Structure formats: structure tokens, C-alpha cells
Chains A and B, each alone.
Chain A
Amino acid sequence: MNQTTSSFRKRVMQQPWDLWWIQALRLTRIEVKRNLFSWRASWIYFLAFIPTLIILIHVAVGRRLQLSMDDDTEILAGIIQFYYIRLGIFFGCLGIFSRLIRGEMIERSLHFYFLSPVRREVILLAKFAAGSISALLLFGSAILADFILTYTVFGATGHDYIFNGPGLGQLEAYLMITVLACLGYGAVFLLLSLIFKNPTPAAMIVMGWEAINPIAPSLLQKISVASYLRHLMPVNVPAEGIFALLTVQTEAESVWTATLGLLVLIVLVLVYSCYRIRTFEIRYTTE
């Protein structure tokens, strides 16, 4: 047993980790540049910053109205829970991550990577990292801007809410949710793009699944990104009608359990994606 462990450890140590790391870093840099500085990404910029624009208009108009900070705090939480997680980050990640492999198959340029001396697992993980960084930069900065705009209008009270009240904690939670949402949806859509030529129908099924997940049996609730994220929301959103379905928490979980649960889900999806890409074939003629 000890001999097997020692031989396994030796094999792991003999792998060219330094080279893989350098290759992954360089590939990630190339991909981030391509993800962010392209006209095709403009609709993802729109998805990320449309609430920011609306909040900006609200703030401009609100200077002449009596705004309530409690109401605006709930509105911001609602925007993040209903818009960003369910729509903005969902579709943004669909656009970014499904393009990483499948998009290059459609553009017929994936073979350049597959003909380089880089392990396919490294290519996949570097592309995932690049997609995650791109999504985080876009949606993280959008949510940060939303947060700042929401409380700036309240002047000193807003400043006090952020720095001496629960504001910074909420911001931290929102950013954590954004990170996990990007990683979670990113991993799922990357896998879907490896399995399906057109991952959009499958993504729509995922969207439906995420919506009905709260009423699913306890075990099935674990196979969902949004169900973990609900437990991390710092502000409860009073929801009625159909929206109540999106906020219900049937299984109480601690923040750590939810975070760890989602991370395990992401790792499992990525491990399976690595397995899939090893036998992935370049067959442009059938695309």
C-alpha cells in the first residue's frame, strides 16, 4: 500500500508542473484578451451594465424624490438575485464559456491549440480560467458600480451604511456570489459545449431546472448552482407570486456548506470536462 502511494507520489512529482503552469498562464492571457476586447463581447457588456445604467438614471431622478435606503437595499438585492444570477450572469457565462471550445470549433481555429505541445486538460482549464476572469471582471465591476451608485445618493448616511454598517459585508457577499455564479455556470456551460454542438437548448433546460429546483427533492437540490447561491444572499428579498419560487430556501445550509458544496460541484464538472476533451475530435466538416 505504502509502495503504491509512494510510486503514485513519485509519478505526480515527475510531471512537468512548471511547464504546465507557464503554458496555462500564457493561454489564459491570450484568451482573456480575446474574450474582453472583441465586438462580439459587446452584448455581454450590455448584460452586465444595463442595471448600472438603470440605477444611474434612478439616482439622477431620485435626487428630486424622497428615496428610502431600506427600499433601495432590497431593490439592489433583488437585482442581484433575480437579474444577475438568473439572467445576466447566466446568459453572460453561456456566451463566454460556450464559445471557448465550441465557438472555436465553429470558427475552425481550435486545431491550432490542439496542435500545440500543451496537454488538452491544460488547454481546457486555462480556457476555463480565462472565461472566469473575463466574466468576473465584467459582472464583478458591474455589481460594484451598482452598489456604489445605490448608496452614493444618500450622501453621509450612505457612507455610514457602507463603512460603519452592514454595507461592506453585503458587498463582500454579493461579490462572493458573483464569483461562485461565474465559476458554477461557467463550468456547466463549458461542459455542455463539449457535449452538444449547440449548447443553447441544453442551457435553457438548465435554466428551467434552476427555476424549479427549490421544489425538487433534497438530494436533487444539490445539483444546482442557484440553490447554493440563495443561501449566501445577505439580504432577504420579499418576493411574491412567481418570484417567491426563486427565493424560497427549503433546505437550510450554512454559508460554508453552500460554498463548499458549489465548489465540489464545479470540480466534478471540470474533472468530467477534462475527461471529455481528451477524446474530443476536430471534425469541422460536420459542424
Chain B
Amino acid sequence: MSETNDLIIFDDVSKFYGEVLGVNRISLSIPPGITTLVGPNGSGKTTLMNLMTGLVQPSSGHISVMGLTPGDVAEFFRNVGYCTQFDFFPRGLNGWEFIFDSLMLHGMDEVDAFGLTTEALQRVRLGDAAGRKIAGYSKGMRQKIRLAQAIAHRPRVLVLDEPLNGLDPMARAESIALFEELGRQGMHLLISSHILDEVDRISDRVVLITGGYLVAQGNIQQVRQEVRDKPMQVLIRCDRPELLASRMFAVDHCVEARVHADGKGVFLRTGDVDQFYSMLNGIAAEGLVKIDAVAPADDDANAIYQYLIGSDGSAS
């Protein structure tokens, strides 16, 4: 398999809904693993996913998913599963029929479809409710049955639009564990979510978009590197946080200091990481403060999102 056949590629893709911008000149190259799509409401996340799966056509540019395009329907949708955020279903079906019917449309025989339906329902822990009408499901169950339908045919690429919406904490944890497992199996997972803290832990990389524009992409550390001019927050666990804060706050690059709620550490925000660590080493060597641990406190998607996009959704 060539390298290109392992990638999801957006090549200068734009989408306009009449005069309204969906996404503008997006170029992306996404390798296997778990990729989180981050952006505020209306930023173009769903448009990007719909473009990728052919539900909408690009106004310009080209998209290929592992060398396939949505025009090649049979091959494409055997390899791609899309769990949309549309909370609607064909009328009158129960959970089992919903998945079984969709598998039968792949052209497989009933025995195979039966086996895969059972497997998918077990993976999302919905086996007991399979015989009930979907119309009677809770929001969380509907989310799960959509996920089951998207993974039932064992795709190589799984696109998940807000997959954690409506799930209770237990179901969220189960879903995230499932995503991790699928990612470990070498599957492409493209996830959009507002619950960044949870997907952040399992993401290999993030793609940040706002207002239809790509803001940044890469693994979280790489993206963090792109914003090195932004102050970075570090948590230092130590025995004398006030003293450490006063020493560090005396230098120019340290712009904020906040003692941890438990009184056993301090959050320091610095604009020059290299200088910061050099000074911290000096203080540690002096022996005035006993430092137990040092860790970046904002090296996650949420913090980067705040830096790059801002809480109001406008890119900085």
C-alpha cells in the first residue's frame, strides 16, 4: 500500500452554501490513528466530515480517503463508517433491524449480517435493547445505536461527529475505551467533540478550525509549539509554593502565578519556557524550595483551543 493510500487528504477544499462559507481552502493530510477535530459551533467541523463522506459536494478542491473518493460508492463505504450527529432514524425500526438492514445493503448474506449485527451491538453494550423500537430509546441509546451502525461493517476509517453527546459518564468512558481500542487496531478515527478533556487523552493529533478556516493541525505538542509565543502554564509541586511564586514572578517572562487549591503547588504562566526551566533549576539547586514534580498544565487540546481560537470562537 502506498503512503498516500493510508492518508485522508483534503486538498485545497472549499465549500460554500450559496454565499455562506462552510469551509475555506482546507488542506489536510491525516495519518492513521485518532484525530480530534476541534472548533466552536458553526466552525465547519460537520461540513468537513460531510464533505469527506460525500454527503455534500466540495465547491472546489479534492478529497481522498485512503486513495478512495465518495464517488466510488461501493468501495468507499465498505471502508468508511460515519456516525453523524443527526439524531434521526428511519421510522418503525428496532435497534437490531436498523443495523441488520444496513449490513444487508452491503450485499452480504444473512449469516454474516447476523454475526456482525450481534458483534456491533455487544461492542456498544446495547444487546439487551436490540429488540426495542429506536423511537423508544433514550438519547444515549440512540447515540450508541448510531455508533454501532457505523462500526458494524468493520470499516478502516471511522468518522464520529460529536459521539459523546447525550452519553452519561459511564457510557462516555466505555465509548472512549472503544475508540482507543479501535485506534490501537490501526483504524483511522476522526472525532469532533466539545468534550475536549475526554477525547484529548486518546487523541494522537488535533485539527483546529474556526469560521471555516484551518487554524492549526498536528499532535498536541506540535500545535503547542506553534503557539510558543503564547504564555504556557506549568504546575510545580513543591513544599513552599508562595516562595517559589514570588521568586519566579520577579522575572519578566513570568506573567502569572497562582497557588494550587491544595496549597502544595503553584501554577506559573511563562512566555519563555527555556528561561523558565533554567531559572527553576537554579532555585532547586539553591535548596530553598523542595520541588517534587513539574508538569505542563495546558499541554492539552482544551488549552490550545483557548489560545488559538478563544472562548468566543474568534481566532487570535
Q: Which residues of A contact B (CB under 8 A)?
A: 16, 19, 22-23, 26-27, 30, 34, 37-38, 104, 107-109, 111-120, 279, 281-284, 286
Contacts A23-B105, A109-B90 hold; do A286 and B17 have CB atoms under 8 A apart? Answer: yes
**Structural contact, A111 and B86, CB atoms closer than 8 A:** yes
**Structural contact, A108 and B86, CB atoms closer than 8 A:** yes
Task: Name the segment of B48-56, B184-192, B279-287 touching the other chain.
Answer: B48-56
**Structural contact, B74 and A16, CB atoms closer than 8 A:** yes
**Structural contact, A112 and B73, CB atoms closer than 8 A:** no
From B53, B78, B101, B149, residue with most partner A Cβ within 10 Å:
B101
A-B contact pairs, 14 of them (CB 8 A): A23-B105, A108-B86, A109-B89, A113-B105, A114-B54, A114-B55, A115-B84, A116-B77, A119-B73, A281-B55, A281-B56, A282-B55, A282-B56, A284-B86
Does B76 interact with chain A (Cβ within 8 Å)? yes
A132 to B75 Cα, complex, angstroms: 30
**Structural contact, B91 and A117, CB atoms closer than 8 A:** no
Please give me the 4 A-B residue pairs with the lowest Cβ-Cβ distance, nearest first. Answer: A108-B88, A117-B77, A282-B55, A116-B105
**Structural contact, B55 and A26, CB atoms closer than 8 A:** no
**Structural contact, A115 and B77, CB atoms closer than 8 A:** yes
**Chain B 93-117 interface 0/1 with A at a Cβ cutoff of 8 Å (1 = within):** 0000000011011110000000000
**From residue 38 to 60 of chain B, which have CB atoms closer than 8 A to chain A?**
50, 53-57
A-B contact count (CB 8 A): 72
Chain B interface category by residue count? 20 to 34
A19 to B73 Cα, complex, angstroms: 13
Kindly report which residue of chain A lies nearest to residue B50, judged by CB atoms.
A282
**Structural contact, A117 and B104, CB atoms closer than 8 A:** no
| In the complex, chain A residues whose CB is within 8 Å of the CB of B54 | 114
| In the complex, chain B residues whose CB is within 8 Å of the CB of A111 | 55, 84, 86
A179 to B185 Cα, complex, angstroms: 53
| In the complex, chain A residues whose CB is within 8 Å of the CB of B92 | 34, 37-38
Shortest beta-carbon distance, A101 to chain B, in Å? 13
Kindly report which residue of chain A lies nearest to residue B75, judged by CB atoms.
A117
**Structural contact, B90 and A34, CB atoms closer than 8 A:** yes
Shortest beta-carbon distance, B183 to chain A, in Å? 21
User: Residue B55 contacts which of A19, A115, A286 (CB distance < 8 angstroms)?
Assistant: A115
**Structural contact, A283 and B86, CB atoms closer than 8 A:** no
Contacts A19-B74, A38-B92 hold; do A117 and B105 have CB atoms under 8 A apart? Answer: yes
User: Residue A107 contacts which of B73, B88, B101, B104 (CB distance < 8 angstroms)?
Assistant: B88
Does B82 interact with chain A (Cβ within 8 Å)? yes
A113 to B73 Cα, complex, angstroms: 11
Kindly report which residue of chain A lies nearest to residue B78, judged by CB atoms.
A117
| In the complex, chain B residues whose CB is within 8 Å of the CB of A26 | 101, 104-105
**Structural contact, B86 and A27, CB atoms closer than 8 A:** no
| In the complex, chain B residues whose CB is within 8 Å of the CB of A113 | 105
**Structural contact, B57 and A281, CB atoms closer than 8 A:** yes
Contacts A116-B77, A117-B74, A286-B17 hold; do A107 and B91 have CB atoms under 8 A apart? Answer: yes
